[in-house]
């Protein structure tokens, strides 16, 4: 049985924090692959409209290039409306019934789990993997496997803000993603 880690998010833009989390979970849990799953419309926050889905997908392809265990799962971009994890996991379990899925979430989402749509049903479809984020608690009533990752306090919103104000993002984004952002004049560059 193939073991697949899923890292969902807006990836607007994808940064080194995403890559470090994915790599650490992949290796510590001895997974076969990590699927990066960009969402179309996150149910818990509003996505900035300045960047198109295809641009986020292109940046993500560049960010993960060079790691054969990293893949993109575009299932949520192919559906309209909010990207609820339960709907996605039902579809993925039907399509890949021979796989075991590990859904990677940060500590901010661990605290939010009780509010996830159909959380009890979702727990039957996927194993949650929690990674630390500063100033959030690990406490949860749900079965979560915790993976220690190096503390890298980076967010896509912080990177967008830096780009908007002409500040450097060197070493926060892969070089090929920086080049794509600049070539396509994204985030106010």
121-151: per-residue pLDDT in tens? 999 999 999 997 656 667 778 899 999 899 8
Q: Which of 86, 96, 95 is nearest to 124 (CA)?
A: 86
Within 10 angstroms of residue 38's Cβ, the number of other Cβ atoms is 25
pTM above 0.95, yes or no: no
54-64: per-residue pLDDT in tens? 999 999 999 99
Distance in angstroms (rounded) separating the CA atoms of residues 31 and 27 = 7
Within 10 angstroms of residue 189's Cβ, the number of other Cβ atoms is 13
Distance in angstroms (rounded) separating the CA atoms of residues 49 and 142 = 33
| CB-based burial label for 185 (10 Å; 0-12, 13-18, 19+) | exposed
Mean pLDDT, the chain, rounded, equals: 90
88 within 8 A of 42, measured Cβ to Cβ: no
Q: Does the pLDDT value for residue 43 go beyond 90?
A: no
Taking CA atoms, 64 is separated from 14, 110, 136, in Å, by: 9, 25, 27
What DSSP character marks residue 45? S
């Amino acid at each position: 049985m193939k073991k697949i880690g899923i890292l969902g998010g807006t990836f607007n833009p994808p940064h080194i924090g995403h890559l470090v989390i994915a790599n650490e979970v992949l290796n510590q849990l001895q997974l076969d692959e990590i699927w990066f799953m960009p969402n179309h419309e996150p149910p818990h926050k509003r996505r900035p409209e300045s960047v198109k889905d295809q641009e986020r997908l292109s940046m993500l392809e560049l960010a993960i290039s060079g790691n054969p265990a990293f893949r993109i799962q575009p299932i949520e971009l192919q559906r309209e409306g909010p990207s609820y994890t339960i709907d996605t996991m039902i579809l993925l379990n039907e399509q890949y019934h021979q796989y075991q899925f590990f859904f990677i979430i940060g500590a901010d989402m661990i605290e939010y789990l009780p509010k996830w749509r159909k959380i009890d049903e979702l727990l039957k479809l996927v194993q949650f993997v929690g990674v630390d984020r500063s100033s959030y608690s690990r406490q949860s009533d749900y079965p979560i496997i915790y993976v220690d990752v190096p503390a890298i306090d980076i967010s896509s919103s912080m990177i967008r803000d830096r780009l908007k104000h002409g500040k450097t993002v060197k070493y926060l984004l892969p070089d090929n993603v920086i080049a794509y952002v600049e070539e396509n004049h994204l985030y106010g560059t």
